[in-house]
Structure 1
């Protein structure tokens, strides 16, 4: 089963919501470095950790609420992909799969480097290790098929449980790449209102594309 979990609509949720906070009012402050911005976005989108984005000046409550919405979208995306394959799974089962995938992504190493900075525009390169995401789903599907007959499993519910467990095991034992893939992101210096304060950040020009590119980077797509 080639399950495309990370759709653009899901991976862009965080950045798209953050974009709504861009404003032209508030206290003027010196912008954080573009590298710091991409570090924070990588950690939130890939690691699902709000720590770095909060350090940039984003309100903790807003960051967590947005992450919760992002995770909810991811869980729905997993359910929909199983549904498209003719299998119905619960939110709880989908959430369990997402947790294991996130744990796998958290093992990846990465680095961020400034490629170009010209006034209020900058280009930043993010390099990261990756896992063979789609291959892991296919591996789990193949293992499930091979196990069904010897175990004489004919009940659909039991077969589904076996598939879910094999997906979890595949990601838990996922081999991390020894090399890194790289992608470059364009950022612009913008003022963002978050909570009671305003911060100036280098922010991606295309929020949805940035989220998608980060996930493509770490999933070897």
Structure 2
């Protein structure tokens, strides 16, 4: 099928091409607003201090050491022991209702912890509890002298997700793709002879003449 033929098909079934994407977008938009719960994200940032560091006396060696253990501390934040201890301190069974992510850069000893969940108060409390617990665990395993909290997590006022606009746009594009696919399938399943080319291909003989369609009375 050529592009011109596809465009003709789309023009012929333009109602479906318009209506189906709109229906899909409206359905997804309604579902996202009615059934998808808002999620909230709280963030806290921490500063890693190695055992050999000493405030103003910290040198470039200490800085390099802090940067090297940043990945270890990031992994520690996502460990079971930190999550389990933080959940116990908050009188929770587990942190399975919360999504935890850690970000750190190789040129910095600052780590950012993000906690996402359905409860705005809960995500802030979990983030602060994990920040406090990771410092204790890091000192116990002699990973760092301390992990100091720079910014405590605050209760988020606005939801961070879901991105309902993106979901609606994706549903619209999916509906458009489905409409085109349906039109193409309908055309492929249509076995009627619709032109000279179809007749020649079906009969295997050339067409030597055509009787034009005449409208009205002669």
Q: TM-score, normalised by structure 2?
A: 0.26
Q: TM-score, normalised by structure 1?
A: 0.26
Q: Which has the larger radius of gyration?
A: 2
